[in-house]
Amino acid sequence: VFAPPINRLITELSRFPGIGQRTAQRLAFHLLRVSDEEALALADAIREVKETVGECEVCFNLATESLCRICQDDRRDGHVLCVVEEPSDVIPIERTNEFNGRYHVLGGALSPIDGVDPEDLHLAELIERASADGVREVVVATNATTTGEATALYIADVLRERAPSVSVTRLASGLPVGSDLEYADEITLGRAVRARREL
């Protein structure tokens, strides 16, 4: 029905999470309606993040330099590491204002069915960081999903062996079971950070 360039745009937009065919069409027609300048600003913004944003070489959070802003910040407490699945999980925890330590982004959760094994995540780097001098606690803030829970137990086991002096804690319950961290509200998540328990 549409000219090939419009079809192409609709196809690209429909790849976004939560965007179905109809919404993709609406967005495409919106882009056709606005000025060239406005539409191309979006294209530019996409190009800029893809060209400038990479991974922090210490914690694997998003970073525009070799270290992310949290790793660069001397006021953060290096004695406590908070382990999350994805960079997007750092934001909700930061918003609670309950955590002043540093992060470690795994890059996913263990899921043998989907072919995600320990070596596919930043687990070796976590073990190395946790065994370093001064780390006292590792807070495991993986999602309250089957794979998130399995990952938490795996981390507790491996750190018990490889970094026995470090205490491994888990966010307290109260988070909706089966849910992703990024959808938790601040109050619930803040409470879960405060009331974390030993794993």
Where along the sequence are the contacts to Zn ion (CB under 5 A)?
A: 56, 58-59, 61, 68, 71
In the bound complex, what is the minimum distance in angstroms from residue 103's beta carbon to Zn ion? Answer: 6
CA distances, 113 to each of 59, 80, 110, 146 (Å): 26, 31, 9, 12
Q: Where are the beta strands (DSSP E) in 1-92?
A: 54-55, 62-63, 80-84
Residue nearer to Zn ion on the CB measure, 63 or 140: 63
Contact 168, 140 (CB under 8 A): yes
Residue nearer to Zn ion on the CB measure, 62 or 175: 62
In the bound complex, what is the minimum distance in angstroms from residue 79's beta carbon to Zn ion? Answer: 16
The Cα 11–Cα 5 span in angstroms is 10
In the bound complex, what is the minimum distance in angstroms from residue 59's beta carbon to Zn ion? Answer: 3
Residue nearer to Zn ion on the CB measure, 9 or 127: 127
Residue nearer to Zn ion on the CB measure, 80 or 175: 80
In the bound complex, what is the minimum distance in angstroms from residue 56's beta carbon to Zn ion? Answer: 3
Query: For residue 197, with 0-12 CB atoms within 10 Å meaning exposed, 13-18 middle and 19 or more buried, which class applies?
Result: exposed
